[in-house]
Amino acid sequence: MRRDLFRHEHRALPPSWYAASVPPRVPLPPLQGARQADVAILGAGYTGLSAALALAERGFKVEVLEARRIGWGASGRNGGQVLVGYGCEVDTLEAMVGAADARTLFDFSRQGVQQVRERITRHGIDCHWIDGHASVPITARQERSLRGHLDTLVERYDYPLQWWDAATLHAQLDSPRYRGALFDPLSGHLHPLAFVQGLADAARAAGVVIHEDSPVLALQRGPHPQLRTATGSISADHVVLAGNALLEGIAPELERRMMPVGTYVGATPVLGEARARALIRNAMAVADTGWVLDYFRLSHDHRLLFGGGASYSALPPPGLGQTLQQRMWKVFPQLQGTGFEYLWGGYVDITPSRAPHWGRLTPDIYFAQGFSGHGVAAAHLAGEVIAEAIAGQAQRLDVFERLRHKPFPGGRWLRMPLLVATMAMVKLRDALG
Ligand SMILES: Cc1cc2nc3c(=O)[nH]c(=O)nc-3n(C[C@H](O)[C@H](O)[C@H](O)COP(=O)(O)OP(=O)(O)OC[C@H]3O[C@@H](n4cnc5c(N)ncnc54)[C@H](O)[C@@H]3O)c2cc1C
């Protein structure tokens, strides 16, 4: 398996404010021996657990194999922003599948956010949901692009976005950095690790068996596919591959169409309620729209959680903490001198188009990847859509399968340098406004 961005014990969750702010859990026993299930799932993040829960609720016998711990991947470490839409804009979807399917896909993503809210309520998951998200432009070019996005989504997609001018934004966000905001009242934010652990508890209560510390070493394809670990195997009628950016060596045709990119989050010390709420008065989540975006929100214990940066190797970039801190101080100069008490990272799985890549490898093997940094709601949706397809209703998955994905140019070894070159050009364009 690929080494994590920060060294740590595999059996423990990666150190983060998230891991420090949930109660400790006893690890679930690894897989032992040969087992049978209706559905075997690789990966206990949002995708795998959402599919597991939806399938168990429909009466399927489901077993999940997790290499490390529940929520060990991106689902336990992300920025917590629960967003309508996908990693690409609707224009990209329209170019790929036409206006009608793009609209359908966008509406599915609205259902995804709604499902997240419903699951939290139905299963009593204590994950600190807060409404509201602002996309904020730094440059004139970014503002033009966001305003174009607003027109498209309001006029053609009936989506209730609002444009806030600089004064309206500054009444909520005490930062001099932005020109206005595209405010989305239906998106929001939550504690991502508490959410994924709550999903796991709901799935187990519905009868799902989860094996932790059980890395899948091989996928056997065929009419009764099998997932194998060092200590056992699960044969099933259906397999779901939900390993996201960490899936390595199991299905090369998926890996070629996705690239892991490191991104990072820092948590300040507790600021106190008054100081924290002075930064973001309505407590919404915020993200800018640069290529290497900054994304931030308040935690329920009144810290600022500030995410950003990107790396293209398994190692964190040198001086990561200082760089991220400088970025935070640019947004909130009043925090000058405040650093991070926690700092962690993880991989996002990007596709060349940033559109989601979900579908079937064979009639019995399903997968979802390519969330492109936009996966809290979308991965949850992917699990539901795959569960429906396994239960015989593939209409929603069929629409996703019409998004065709090319491999990254340059293949496995050159995809990284080529992306870095593209990034440099886009950064320059951003800097020129
Ligand atoms: C730092 C960071 C910030 C982010 N911020 C946001 C955000 O604010 N908003 C947003 O919408 N999205 C965000 N994302 C993206 C989002 O977190 C992901 O798209 C989403 O969590 C993907 O869920 P998943 O279940 O598909 O994958 P994961 O959560 O990565 O789960 C995959 C699981 O599969 C397991 N696995 C892999 N290979 C094997 C194997 N061979 N055998 C057994 N198990 C295996 C892994 O251990 C892992 O637990 C962020 C991601 C990161 C890393």
Å from CA of 71 to ligand 1 middle: 8
First to last CA, the chain: 40
Q: Is the dihedral of CA 246, 250, 254, 257 positive or negative?
A: positive
What integer pLDDT is reported at residue 7 of this predicted model? 44
Confidence of residue 8 (pLDDT cuts 50, 70, 90): very low
CA distance 310 to 296: 15
Q: Which residue has the higher pLDDT, 240 or 412?
A: 240
Is the per-residue pLDDT at 5 higher than 50?
A: no
Q: What's the average model confidence in pLDDT over 8-22?
A: 84
Q: Which residues line ligand 1 (CB under 6 A)?
A: 42-48, 65-68, 72-75, 77-81, 83, 215-216, 242-244, 246-247, 250, 263, 265, 295, 307, 345-348, 371, 373-376, 379
For residue 421, count CB atoms less than 10 angstroms from its CB and return exposed for 0-12, middle for 13-18, buried for 19 or more: exposed
Is the per-residue pLDDT at 271 higher than 90?
A: yes
What integer pLDDT is reported at residue 433 of this predicted model? 44
Is the per-residue pLDDT at 406 higher than 60?
A: yes
The three-state secondary structure class of 175 is: coil
Per the listing, tokens 């009466």 go with: 59
Could you read off the pLDDT of 158-205 as tens digits, one per residue? 999 999 999 999 999 999 999 999 999 999 999 999 999 999 999 999
Mutation choice for ligand 1 from 217, 246, 248, CB with most ligand atoms inside 8 A: 246
Is the per-residue pLDDT at 428 higher than 50?
A: no
Distance of CA 209 to the CA centre of its chain: 24
Predicted TM-score (pTM) of the model is 0.94
Could you read off the pLDDT of 335-368 as tens digits, one per residue? 999 999 999 999 999 999 999 999 999 999 999 9
CA distance 233 to 60: 18
Å from CA of 169 to ligand 1 middle: 31
Expressed in percent and rounded to 5, the helix, strand and coil fractions of the chain are 35, 25, 40
What integer pLDDT is reported at residue 431 of this predicted model? 47
